[in-house]
Chains A and B, each alone.
Chain A
Amino acid sequence: MAKVIDKALEWLQDRTGLVQPIIHMMLHPVPGKSTWAYVFGTAIMTSFVVQLASGVALTTMYVPSGGEAWESIKWMTENVPFGAWLRATHYYGASAMIIFVGAHAIRTFLFGSFKFPRELNWISGVFLLFLTVAIAFTGQVLRWDQTAVWTVAVGAEQALRAPIVGKTLVRVLCSGDNVTGASLSHFFAMHVFIFPLLLIALIAFHVWLVLHHGISEPPTPGKPVNRETYRDEYKELLKREGKPFWPDAAWRDAVFSTIVVLGICACALHFGPPAIENPPDPSLVNAEPKPDWYLTWYFALLALVPAQIEDWFILIFPVFLVVGLLAPPFLSNTGERSASRRPWAVAIVVVVVGSVLALWREGINEYWTPRFEAKPVPKQDIGATAGPVAEGGKVFNDRGCLFCHSIDGHGGRRGPDLSDVGERLTHDQLTIRIVNGGVNMPAYAGNISPKELESVVKFLESRRPHQTVIESSNNTQAK
């Protein structure tokens, strides 16, 4: 049997010349100490294979039509065997790609792997990172539900901030002047043809570079990269302790990739496919578009940035991200590689990861949004059944104050909590604020009658902390 295979391979080598190079590639030596820190790259590629397989399958039923895309997704999820499963694995496969692109970037940054001679490995990797996010974002749009159409509108509003080219950018993003079926078709072409082809080409280049320069060895503190000597030292290292990639390193990649695929399957099984929300009907105004989880931090950042610098921020931040990510090999491509000798590198990773996590939490809490569904302040918390305080409580509930301000836990969190505002502000101060408004608060002068104003101020004046304390102690006594 082995002889037959040998013969066949010999023939293949003779006729194609491909067998030897592949064997050579499989057996290329890698530094002996490269261990579990080196498995993220293949984890990304494995997740990408999951994406290709599930994505190609999904296109056999998905209809990229403005009027029918949503229906086709609903149909395949509810009626087609494996439909829900493929949609779920495609979603969690994308999530896995994003997570491991992040992990891979942090690992190569902390190990100083971007230094000489691997600058282009890093730079092509940065483009792969942005391409991955672009594929994920266009994929979210293909879901073509209510969130998708408003997400495109939100993107257009950001693009419109750009001077001179703003309108042109919006046109390119929407493929026209509004979000229409043409927008969806263009997003489909990008998500299904253009970006994946670019991604495959860039991955090939990236992997070629990895093979060309060899996998960067784990850094040793006190052993800086020197342009003149590095290549010889690396060759020496491989001679001394190099191990063939297959199977000495490949088994770890295989094991970790299997864990990743099983993780994607576990998420798909447990959480199911992303919910099919409302249809892409822009006439339904009760929409609160939110990006998928991997952009929640940026969504929070946009909400938190002060209004005065917002225009600049929307324009400059993406440029800052690109420049910042491309910068490392330009700033320092020789010298120490070990993280223990590069405190600034560690600090940058800690600050970036910490900021993203903090913003992510804020993005989930979203206290900056008015709460239209807030329940009115109940009678017992208003504290009066007749007279100006009771009337003021009604004004507070009816005139929209409630959407942004809360009293005793009822209402929104966009504006200050007014549970004890009677302690902080006088009658006149309250009146002035309501009539004139503030940075985020509308001026109510034209929207409220003098009588209503007087009663709501009375109501707010009566908001004092001890009241609630007395009430709750009364409640306890009653119990």
Chain B
Amino acid sequence: MCCSDQPPKEEPKVSIDWSKILVDRAEFLKLVALGCSGLIGLIVAIPGIGFAFGYFLVPKREDWIKVGPIEHYEVGNTVAVNFTDTTGTPWDGVCAKRVAWLRRIDHSNFQAFAVNCTHLGCPVRWEPGAALFMCPCHGGVYYSDGTVAGGPPPRPLHQYPTRVANGQVEIKVGPVLTEG
């Protein structure tokens, strides 16, 4: 036998199977298609969701609102004070109107109660004859200091912070429903 019949001795193959290390063409194209689709999804979804749920991203808004000179209020009396909540949107109009029950405790101290009943949120009314806050929905009752007097409410009435500045009584508006 002649050595020429023998195939030349080849060196051991060192070719790299790239498809094992990376991906082959078809798989690469699949990844391109899926990746592009996902990217389009993210590009359109993130701003939309961020916008619709933007209220999670902005700090809570608060504002001090003047509700009248201190001498308007008699010690021991609870009266309704009307004001406009400035923490909403500029076009809130009529739905930005608020009322709070303002009670003058002594010379310089006030309590301002949100009207929202802590049971299920209906507006409570001050009944001066009974000296109680009463809720029309399920009969929740609160004493004049906002503590629960009877019925289903689980917590005292929500209070707005109050202060007296330059002879004016001021109420701090801000989150009510999320504060409970």
Contacts and interface: CB of A to CB of B under 8 A. Distances in A.
A171 interface: yes
A137 interface: no
A288 B136 contact: yes
B89 A66 contact: yes
A174 B152 CA distance: 24
A145 B100 CA distance: 20
A156 B177 contact: yes
A286 B95 contact: no
Interface in B112-168: 115-125, 127, 129-132, 134-139, 141, 143, 149-152, 154
Contacts of A158: 120
B119 to A, nearest CB: 7
Contacts of B143: 442, 446-447
A68 B93 contact: yes
Interface stretch (A36-44, A97-105, A114-122, A178-186): A178-186
Given A157-B177, A283-B99, A414-B139, A372 B55 contact: no
A207 interface: no
Contacts of A401: 130
17 contacts: A66-B96, A160-B178, A174-B177, A176-B88, A177-B177, A180-B88, A180-B96, A182-B55, A280-B95, A283-B82, A307-B152, A368-B138, A369-B136, A372-B125, A400-B129, A404-B139, A440-B141
Contacts, number: 190
Contacts of A184: 95
A154 interface: yes
B97 A302 contact: no
Q: Which 9 A-B pairs have the closest CB atoms?
A: A67-B93, A400-B130, A442-B149, A177-B175, A157-B121, A180-B88, A283-B99, A153-B121, A283-B97
Contacts of A288: 122, 136-137
Interface of A: 65-68, 70, 144, 149-150, 153-158, 160, 167, 170-172, 174-182, 184, 186, 189, 279-289, 302-303, 307, 310-311, 368-370, 372, 398-401, 403-404, 414, 437-443, 446-447
Contacts of B91: 65-68, 181
A2 B117 CA distance: 70
Given A66-B91, A283-B98, A302 B178 contact: no
A333 to B, nearest CB: 36
Nearest to A279: B94
Given A288-B136, A288-B137, A414-B139, A442 B95 contact: no
Given A285-B123, A287-B122, A400-B134, A440 B139 contact: yes
Contacts of A284: 99
Nearest to A305: B152
A178 B125 contact: no
A291 to B, nearest CB: 11
Contacts of B82: 283
Contacts of A156: 121, 177-178
Nearest to B101: A285
B30 interface: no
Contacts of A160: 177-178, 180
Contacts of B88: 66, 176, 178, 180-182
B122 A170 contact: no
